[in-house]
Amino acid sequence: MTDLPFGQLRQTMSLGVIGFGNIAEAIVTRLEKEDLIYPRDIITIETNKDRALHIKRKYGVTVLKDYASLCTRSSVILLSVKPQNIDEVLPLLKKHHTNQLILTVVTGVAIKKYERELGSNIRLIRIMPNTPALIGLGMSAYFASNKCTDKDKWLCHKIFTCVGNTLEIKNEALLDPITATSGSGPAYVYQFAQSLIDAAIKQGIKPAIAKTLILETLRGATEMMMQSKESIDVLTGRVATKGGTTEAGIKVLKKEGFYRAIDGCVKAATKRAKELSR
């Protein structure tokens, strides 16, 4: 999204966070670091007492107990509780919400449920981030309800771009396969990395060295894929020369069903995302 003439985020937004866990902390850390919001413009309801104390001390945000104050003081509300806690939040929000923009990262809760609980006029954006957001390298996809304005989308884009890359999707149903790929994806990559490390160790490489070799290889290969204009298959071909070592390895990946396993993994995760969706 190109920059739109909506001014500075800092002058535009006061952020009310409901559930200040990992994802909310990642977002607030970056917003504050990049000077995009004043700590005094962040208020939160966080029911975990230890966590509430931690975020108050670390980020200088105001921790509130009641939804009336949170709603009065927020122009944008970020919902970031776990899915199992959403049913306790929505009735309270309904009482005090005055049509502020709602950004929700809560997995698997469809816009129609929010509309049912909060009213069909809400401006709400569903976002699926992933955990590399914690280090500013997240990938977030978002879908905006039909009442959202360009400014709402701009705000969402600005906020989530602080924690990585962001893109808008135009079909809410795609959030299920997105959950199954970029949402869950870091875990698949960790498992792939671990299996390469284990295999290297079996071939006699010391664990610490194996870990460095594999993680740097993953970093380099990812950068190559991002920077190169060539397709992933062409890049693969540049490593896997005919009759060489890489080709011998890739033959086994094919024979042992590596590609089928990845396809099955994404299918199963998408199916589960659909089952959990409400």
Q: Taking CB under 6 A as the rule, does residue 185 contact ligand NAP? A: no
Do 176 and 274 form a contact (C-beta atoms < 8 A)?
yes
Q: How many residues in the shown chain lie near ligand NAP by CB under 6 A?
A: 26
Q: Taking CB under 6 A as the rule, does residue 277 contact ligand NAP? A: no
Do 164 and 136 form a contact (C-beta atoms < 8 A)?
yes
Dihedrals φ, ψ of 256, to 5°? Answer: -85, 5
Contacts of ligand NAP in 65-104 (CB under 6 A): 80-83, 85, 88-89
Which position among 12, 51, 72, 237 is part of the footprint of ligand NAP (CB under 6 A)? 51
> CA-CA distance, 95 to 90, in Å (whole number)?
9
Q: Which residue, 90 or 205, is less far from ligand NAP as judged by CB?
A: 90
Which position among 15, 45, 139, 163 is part of the footprint of ligand NAP (CB under 6 A)? 45
Q: Which residue has the tokens 């199963």?
A: 268
Tokens, residue 125: 């954006």
Tokens, residue 56: 């108050």
Q: Taking CB under 6 A as the rule, does residue 47 contact ligand NAP? A: yes
Q: To the nearest whole angstrom, how small is the minimum distance from the Cβ of residue 84 to ligand NAP? A: 8
Which one, of 275, 211, 27, lies nearest residue 130 by Cα? 27
Which position among 32, 41, 46, 176 is part of the footprint of ligand NAP (CB under 6 A)? 46
- Of 67-75, 128-136, 157-165, 208-216, which part binds ligand NAP (CB under 6 A)? 128-136
Do 158 and 150 form a contact (C-beta atoms < 8 A)?
no
Q: To the nearest whole angstrom, how small is the minimum distance from the Cβ of residue 110 to ligand NAP? A: 13
Which position among 64, 71, 102, 128 is part of the footprint of ligand NAP (CB under 6 A)? 128
> What is the DSSP code string of 113-153?
HHHHHH-TT--EEEEE--GGGGGT-EEEEEEE-TT--HHHH
Amino acid at 256: E
Q: Taking CB under 6 A as the rule, does residue 129 contact ligand NAP? A: yes
> CA-CA distance, 212 to 169, in Å (whole number)?
36
- Of 2-10, 42-50, 142-150, 152-160, which part binds ligand NAP (CB under 6 A)? 42-50
Q: Which residues in this chain contact ligand NAP in the complex, by CB under 6 A?
A: 18-19, 21-24, 45-48, 51, 80-83, 85, 88-89, 105-107, 128-131, 183
